[in-house]
Structure 1
């Protein structure tokens, strides 16, 4: 990333991070002139705020407000308020503080302008001493950039074929193996539900199963699965127009999985990684799958379709079955799966379901320390009967509609079984409004926590 440099220049400005709690004490130490200046500007050191402070030696210093609970997001808000130029941190910052500043500095400068005639060329640089090892943080930020870019790209340019090309590019960058099973080959290779959901799409947008593998086969095997519904009309159970406005982000699970895979490969974790992305467009045509159709999954389970807008769990089921065939130590899937999860937890808090307490507790610890929120929801076994069906082994929606996020997770659990540790993350993958370091639009959610959890196990 070109936002970090190793040397200051004559115009480098020093940033002074400060929290609300220590502002008054700092002012007392600084003297009357600075105190009067700060009070006159009504500066309170709010997270992400900035205030230029004049000095007697005519140099410029800038106070920057930091929230100790989420320092990286504070820095993300700060960088967006600074003019172009070069800045440095105080010499007494600890390594973890520098890492938070670097992450926020990078994420706060993200800008999706691929479709704008006028590009944003403003460059705000941070001096990071060459002795500081910030490569891992830069790799994490680049994974988040990738996730955001994929989600923000409109569906016209991010269909199943284009998503496969992005995965292939990522594989090439890290010398991973790439393959894709496309169109009717999904039937001959036994991925019938991926085919059924995506078969109505136009020529050139055929469904496919994208597969990326990386790492030594002798290393522990892990599998990542991402829902890649590149646009979701709802199928024959058509969505209202207001609900389609953000449906380019229905491949947000796949985008987050590719961002996480980028972090894993760039930071060289000791794993044998498999990434599986069922990429489809849930379109409407004479070949659309229908309510009350009965599909047979890759593992032989028969599924009656109660609603064609509950398509994500169908394509994930075939991909999860494929993942299990590789006998991984763990499986993580990510999906923009249910509105019910958003009703329960809002848009900023992904739900995590997990069949292994040790695994989920480890992830949640990293979620807390990384300020990358996740909230555990129950795989409440008594609700499984809500998916019972008179005509097939299981229904793709629950009777009555209550507990929709839970029953969707229970549907997936049917295909996972009980032997392999598995986490399912139901996320929004989108910011409805801008916040510090997080512009409106596509977002990486949970993958920093997942990466640090995996890094602790496999680095």
Structure 2
């Protein structure tokens, strides 16, 4: 997932908008060939141009502006269809459009091949003029890490394996890492993380990574439920099939942390990942149990399948104790978010209008869509069961993503700027730059917004 070096001899890839004339640089024979192939510039069309020694170049249909809005990373389709070698774009690409095209090409090069061969495209792009190639390669590497972590099945990606990945990342960038495991969680004040993970023979843990000595402090909290059976409220098999991705928040946070460290952003980074397996045994936590969280709030368990907000609650409370400049929480938290917005559009929640606006601008600039949802105060009563301070699973099922977000907000009281992202972390079917499987959501938008939010 790297660009071809500048100065590499490269074939030309002409970007042609729908209905536009063919390039004057084509020979008469090439133009006649393109017309015979029915090339019109429609979005995604690819026409290889013949030459004396084989392929001499290619035309790619860049469609209309509306078509490009409807399909992110359109140019990645060309990467998938071109023969091996170096290619350079010939067309009017500038600014954010050029960056999206170039990044999409890199992301198309990702394939998960740990257990079976998976052939990735061999066509390499010479980075367009004006594009920061090193930055985009760092972003692509962070996204590849996220995808690898989500795609790895739970037998090879439990809490210990997630810890190992975090340790490798910390070692690569000179970050500090500490881990609290098993029964030590109780002594250290993380009762909810312990309760959720204690039923599994794979010990629960809190993974903490710190990097950077100067600048504003940013805390990233990621849900690391490495597999979710639902606990005693056991999921049906159809709902358990994708639960290897329930650590998608942790995977996305680690990918984002890699981007931040690789780019050397002037901030102090703190990453907190509660890593557990929500399993079934005689030690499992039960419906109707009540636990006192790290924050001191009592929580009644009314569904053991609403475990993500529990482990996040203790981690958020720990992040909040330092009152950092910004806390961001990412989690594959609720099915309700998917019902509302589908798999491509993650909601985020914040009370800070300026933070919301910066995230929205970042999301649009880097083609990493987000949609703001409300911390709707009238629903606060839904998460208050009466017998305890909080209910982890309000009855009725309405506004499930909002009530989950409200639950998490109760654990952030000392930090002014906080946002929660209810991501999906999975690409249901292959799209340009996004093969079927694990995918990061929100990380690139956050990365784009951080300089504005923190004044970097």
Fold match by TM threshold 0.5: yes
1-side partners of 2:344 and 2:130: how far apart?
Answer: 36
Q: 1:233 to 1:225 in 2, by over 3 A?
A: same
The residue aligned with 1:223 is 219
Structure 1 residue 102, shift from structure 2 partner: 2.5
Structure 1 residue 29, shift from structure 2 partner: 9.4
Query: CA contact under 8 A between 2:4 and 2:86: conserved in structure 1?
Result: no
The residue aligned with 1:13 is 11
Structure 1 residue 46, shift from structure 2 partner: 3.8
2-side partners of 1:325 and 1:408: how far apart?
Answer: 21
Output aligned runs, 1:221-370, within 5 Å: 221-370=217-366
2-side partners of 1:121 and 1:333: how far apart?
Answer: 32
Output aligned runs, 1:49-60, within 5 Å: 49-54=45-50, 60=56
Q: Secondary structure at the match of 2:81?
A: coil
Q: Secondary structure at the match of 1:4?
A: coil
Q: Secondary structure at the match of 1:276?
A: strand
**TM-score normalised by structure 2 residue count:** 0.93
The residue aligned with 1:160 is 159
Q: Which moved more, 1:273-282 or 1:396-405?
A: 396-405
1-side partners of 2:444 and 2:264: how far apart?
Answer: 15
Q: 1:373 to 1:295 in 2, by over 3 A?
A: same
The residue aligned with 2:168 is 169
Query: CA contact under 8 A between 1:7 and 1:128: conserved in structure 2?
Result: no
Q: Secondary structure at the match of 2:435?
A: coil
The residue aligned with 2:123 is 124
Match of residue 393, structure 2, among 394, 397, 400: 397
Query: CA contact under 8 A between 1:351 and 1:427: conserved in structure 2?
Result: yes
Deviations 1:347-380 (A, max 9, x none): 1100111121110111011111211110111111
Query: Which runs of 5 or more residues in structure 2 are unaligned?
Result: none
Q: Is 1:454 paired with 2:453?
A: no
Structure 1 residue 91, shift from structure 2 partner: 8.2
1-side partners of 2:154 and 2:137: how far apart?
Answer: 28
The residue aligned with 1:81 is 81
Deviations 1:150-184 (A, max 9, x none): 00000001000100111111111110100110000
1-side partners of 2:415 and 2:269: how far apart?
Answer: 19
2-side partners of 1:120 and 1:171: how far apart?
Answer: 30
Structure 1 residue 132, shift from structure 2 partner: 6.2
Query: CA contact under 8 A between 1:292 and 1:304: conserved in structure 2?
Result: yes
Q: Which moved more, 1:403-412 or 1:417-426?
A: 417-426
Deviations 1:316-362 (A, max 9, x none): 00000000112101110000000000000001100111121110111
2-side partners of 1:27 and 1:372: how far apart?
Answer: 32
The residue aligned with 2:137 is 138
Query: CA contact under 8 A between 1:5 and 1:125: conserved in structure 2?
Result: no
1-side partners of 2:46 and 2:169: how far apart?
Answer: 37
Q: 1:251 to 1:121 in 2, by over 3 A?
A: closer
Deviations 1:191-243 (A, max 9, x none): 000000000111xx210000000001x41111100000000000000000011
Query: CA contact under 8 A between 1:6 and 1:130: conserved in structure 2?
Result: no
Q: Which moved more, 1:41-50 or 1:218-227?
A: 41-50
Q: Secondary structure at the match of 2:90?
A: coil
Structure 1 residue 450, shift from structure 2 partner: 0.5
Q: Secondary structure at the match of 2:306?
A: coil
Q: Secondary structure at the match of 2:250?
A: helix
2-side partners of 1:237 and 1:51: how far apart?
Answer: 54
Length, aligned pairs only:
451
The residue aligned with 1:201 is 200
The residue aligned with 2:211 is 214
Query: CA contact under 8 A between 2:2 and 2:106: conserved in structure 1?
Result: no
The residue aligned with 2:431 is 435
Q: Is 1:412 paired with 2:408?
A: yes
Query: CA contact under 8 A between 1:65 and 1:74: conserved in structure 2?
Result: no
